[in-house]
Chain A
Amino acid sequence: GAGVSQTPSNKVTEKGKYVELRCDPISGHTALYWYRQSLGQGPEFLIYFQGTGAADDSGLPNDRFFAVRPEGSVSTLKIQRTERGDSAMYLCASSPGSNTEAFFGQGTRLTVV
């Protein structure tokens, strides 16, 4: 595809439910990043993948959050037992390598009710 694709664009879920957010990076990009942007705030780093492995997951807020990238392309951010405080825009970005410009998707807006 032409850019980073995130699906769904909007997700509403009930408190306590499990959700998965998908990111399709630009073809051939080895680096992939997840950020979370709460209302009125800047994006906050969650996790960075280089290939299939998580090179840095220090931004994941707690063990309810997990992300995978099993084939080094598509990534899924998984949130268990969602809480209202998880409501935010979740942004994904990819880049050809870790030292090159990262391109952002339009995000998934998650609302936990």
Chain B
Amino acid sequence: AQSVTQPDIHITVSEGASLELRCNYSYGATPYLFWYVQSPGQGLQLLLKYFSGDTLVQGIKGFEAEFKRSQSSFNLRKPSVHWSDAAEYFCAVGARGGYQKVTFGTGTKLQVIP
């Protein structure tokens, strides 16, 4: 069975600082990996995805993530955080074509301080 671990429940960073959110997955084959963001009162929004190819994936809002098969990781990064990035971030893994039956992690809540 597929699973996702997000070891950091809550992270606080200063505006303008760099950000890295950790994600480890468990899946028997080549995984389909996602990062979603959820802001209060908003639906889940896809930031980026990895299906195959280049292991460094660019997403929206200046985010990127790197797939490392040897470490079973898919960490999310942003070089300079903006106050509007404060939200909850979910890493997820899918199978059988990608978006079907996606398994989400428990999320990391990002707080941005001035």
Contact = CB atoms under 8 A, between A and B. Distances in A.
Interface of A: 3-4, 31, 33, 35, 40-45, 48, 55-56, 58-59, 91, 93, 95, 98-107
Interface of B: 4, 41-46, 49, 90, 92, 97-107
B101 A45 contact: yes
A101 B46 contact: yes
A10 B34 CA distance: 28
Given A48-B100, A99-B99, A40 B106 contact: yes
A55 B43 CA distance: 24
A98 B32 CA distance: 13
B106 A91 contact: no
Contact of B106 (A42, A58, A59, A93): A42
B99 A104 contact: no
B90 A42 contact: yes
Contacts of A42: 4, 90, 92, 104-107
